Structure 1
Amino acid sequence: MDPRVREHAQTVVDHSADIGSGDQVVISAPAAASDLVVALHEECADRGAHPVSLHSDSRANRAFLRHHDGDFETPEHLLAMYEAMDAYIAVRGDVNATETADIDPEVNAAYRRAMKPVLEERLSKTWCLTQYPTSGNAQLAGMSTEGYENFVWDAVGLDWDEQRKHQARMVEILDNADEVRIRSGEETDVRMRIAGNTTLNDYGEKNLPGGEVFTAPVKESVEGEVFFDMPLYRQGREIEDVRVRFEDGRVDSYSAGRNEDVLDGIFETDEGARYLGELGIGMNRAIDQFSYNMLFDEKMGDTVHMAVGSAYPATVGDENETNESAEHVDMIVDMSEDSVIEVDGEVVQRDGTFMFEERLEE
């Protein structure tokens, strides 16, 4: 076994999930990630925890959704297991990243609505989402298998204490802010209020790799237009050139250059899917290339991302409304050129460089 797999497992168990004696741990992973699953079981045993593995299989999930009548019910047996667990570890790793490309978006939306109570229960516990480097994800990223392995393990193996300190400076700026304005090129100019909400510092706990700071907009405050110039993969299909216009916080109009029907399915899932639930700012400089994997891409330095759908309750203040949805879909804006982030009228980032990294010229 590659020693980096054991290091990965140790980081998940100790840093990300803080697994301890007696903890009931659920590990969900595909067969391609079996080495990491084995290492996670060893690490859990060393700490006196009790792991159980779920086999996640995109082929099986595709078969289920394509043969179902679309009238889904919440799986109570799965919900019961999540109610009983203390921690959840999800490992991604695709053999075929486009396996679910032919699922009807409406069927997928119905399934996500039925799974919402399961997701909410899972997110209420300690959890960590991470990646195992597989050939399928390497191919999607346009990398060799070895190159992708290095990419993944470099990204998850940062000095997370130093990363936390670096990101804390942006957290401090946003925590005291009222309004954020994001401008990029000629097509993105959007404002949103964040007053009363909390900014979280993601340094490799719930997401591994980490490398972002994020908060929630005040629900009805988002105004303006955004061109999400980086593509996203959803249901095994690539959505490109997404343009969204917000009015009173709600998605008023939208378009996509490719696979707009998938975008239709997202926004039609429920009313909450038409509001922003998250504003995130990427700050992980170790992630230096786009990989068609949102777990990594949203953390890239020189980017911001906005997620339509559910807000993380921990980011929403007591006086503000938490946006609820069965969806949470991140979309990315490249901020490396002709771009500015302003907080209460002050420039805090220009062309990807933060004010605390070097002095910005007006």
Structure 2
Amino acid sequence: MQLPQELLDKYAQVMVRYALNHGKGMAPGDTVFLVGQEITRDLFLALGREVYAAGGNLITHYSPNNTQADSLARFLLQHGSDGQVGFFAEPYWRGIVEATDHILFIVSEPDVHYLEGIPAARISKMMSARAPYMKMREEKEHAGKLSWTLCLYGTESMAKEAGLSLEAYWEQIIEACYLREEDPVARWRQVQAEIESIKDKLDALEIESLHLTGADLDLIVRIGDNRKWLSGGGKNIPSFEIFTSPDWRGTQGWIRFNQPLYYSGKRIAGIELRFENGLVVSATATENEEALKEMIAQENADKAGEFSLTDRRHSRITRFMATTLYDENMGGAFGNTHIALGNAYKDTFPGDPSTVSEEQWAAMGYNACPKVHTDIISTSDRTVTATLKDGTQRVIYKDGQFEV
């Protein structure tokens, strides 16, 4: 399938002139690190041209397609030594972070199952090797000197996994990103303003904790002190969610997720988690439970790092897309809830995160887990009741939309 050049160019405009720099677009002279696989060539080129047209500079990371037959990562995991699997080129990645103002990832899977059959522990070892890179990025981001964003490029493999034709899969992308609008950048800024209005109302409520109830959950999430709510703000395209980093110590109860998780190249379905005193004490899945348990077994990956809600009135995503970027933003009948296990987003701190020590983060209940931040999603009906700091209660989310 060949996407019309007009839509490719509009997609590139959204990413470069809106998504980068936290929804403000890149400035002339900024340097963008553009990452994509060869299957994304037409969009990769459109994005590169748009960066140059906006007066920016470009560093590219353009790699061969990951498929079971040709993936270098799969070959390494099958045949490499532990030292090779855990290799991290620290000077290279430090140089990339230092030279870059913005990072733009094109999410795409030429073969959703390219790591099928590889032990989960082996994959976790390779992913854990990138923890120092993520730490470098986080530090520069907290200093206000780095932004990042993601966008999706549909493939036959991804469409098949989602049970859609490639044309129907791309239709979801086009609609979700407003690419048929005359000025999609202006449309995104309008939608973001609407979401920011809800976020500001949530902050004004001063919520102590949330109680989520429904047929497949009975869960308490403590928000805690020194938190604010955030919206995507350009970090993901599309992004309609409103989220915060809860105090992990106050998560209690259980939740069943009706959407599968794709982690380490594996599909994990039928997930149910039970929390006691903030810790996952039971984690089951009807498919690939081993991979779920391997993920949670990593240090601090058994704690909540994010809590998020999406209002169905903003999202045009109506179908399962087999990728977290879209599934965590699904609208449909009931919006969605997702919880991320692992690392907390420190930009939910209302002050300057660069001035906070690791000990202070821990004292506030911000989870530290640089190796894992994994969103798990449910689109079932639920009611969210907030307990405010003055002790009063208020329903803030029902029937898939905010009530604030």
Q: TM-score, normalised by structure 2?
A: 0.82
Deviation readout 1:315-359 (Å, 9 max, x if unpaired): 1456623211110111112233xx211111311222324325xxx
Moved more, 321-330 or 116-125: 116-125
Q: CA deviation at 1:213?
A: 0.5
Q: Structure 1 CA distance, aligned partners of 2:194 and 2:54?
A: 31
Q: Is the 8 A contact 1:167 1:213 kept in 2?
A: yes
Q: Report the equivalent of 2:54.
A: 47
Deviation readout 1:41-79 (Å, 9 max, x if unpaired): 111111221112112442222222222223413321123
Q: CA deviation at 1:246?
A: 0.8
Q: Structure 2 CA distance, aligned partners of 1:44 and 1:198?
A: 32
Q: Report the equivalent of 1:127.
A: 148
Q: Is the 8 A contact 1:277 1:307 kept in 2?
A: yes
From 19, 27, 32, the counterpart of 1:16: 19
Q: CA deviation at 1:166?
A: 3.0
| 1:160 matches 2:188 | yes
Q: Report the equivalent of 1:213.
A: 242
Q: Report the equivalent of 2:157.
A: 136
Unaligned runs of 5+ in 1: 357-362
Q: Report the equivalent of 1:291.
A: 321
* Structure 2 counterpart of 1:305, one-letter code: H
Q: CA deviation at 1:81?
A: 1.4
After superposition, where does 1:173-322 map in structure 2 within 5 Å?
173-175=201-203, 176-185=206-215, 187-195=216-224, 196-203=226-233, 205-270=234-299, 272-283=300-311, 284-301=314-331, 302-316=335-349, 320-322=364-366
Deviation readout 1:259-313 (Å, 9 max, x if unpaired): 001101101222x101000001123420111111110010113210000001111
Moved more, 153-162 or 339-348: 153-162
Moved more, 280-289 or 158-167: 158-167
SS at match of 2:295: helix
Q: Is the 8 A contact 1:198 1:315 kept in 2?
A: yes
Q: Structure 1 CA distance, aligned partners of 2:38 and 2:87?
A: 27
Q: Structure 1 CA distance, aligned partners of 2:118 and 2:79?
A: 10
Aligned residues: 351
From 53, 72, 76, the counterpart of 1:60: 72
Q: Is the 8 A contact 1:223 1:249 kept in 2?
A: yes
SS at match of 2:169: helix
Deviation readout 1:71-113 (Å, 9 max, x if unpaired): 4133211232122211111001222111122222111222222
Q: Report the equivalent of 2:384.
A: 341
SS at match of 2:130: helix
* Structure 1 counterpart of 2:12, one-letter code: A
SS at match of 2:176: helix
Percentage of pairs with the same residue: 26
Q: Report the equivalent of 1:95.
A: 110
Deviation readout 1:190-239 (Å, 9 max, x if unpaired): 11211321110114x01011110010111211111111121112223221
* Structure 2 counterpart of 1:162, one-letter code: Q
Q: Structure 1 CA distance, aligned partners of 2:11 and 2:99?
A: 26
Q: Structure 2 CA distance, aligned partners of 1:188 and 1:168?
A: 28
Q: Structure 2 CA distance, aligned partners of 1:11 and 1:265?
A: 37
Q: Is the 8 A contact 1:218 1:321 kept in 2?
A: yes
SS at match of 1:208: coil
Q: Structure 1 CA distance, aligned partners of 2:89 and 2:305?
A: 26
Q: CA deviation at 1:169?
A: 4.2
Q: Is the 8 A contact 1:98 1:235 kept in 2?
A: no
Q: CA deviation at 1:257?
A: 0.9
SS at match of 2:52: helix
* Structure 1 counterpart of 2:374, one-letter code: V
* Structure 1 counterpart of 2:316, one-letter code: A
CA RMSD of aligned residues (A): 1.8
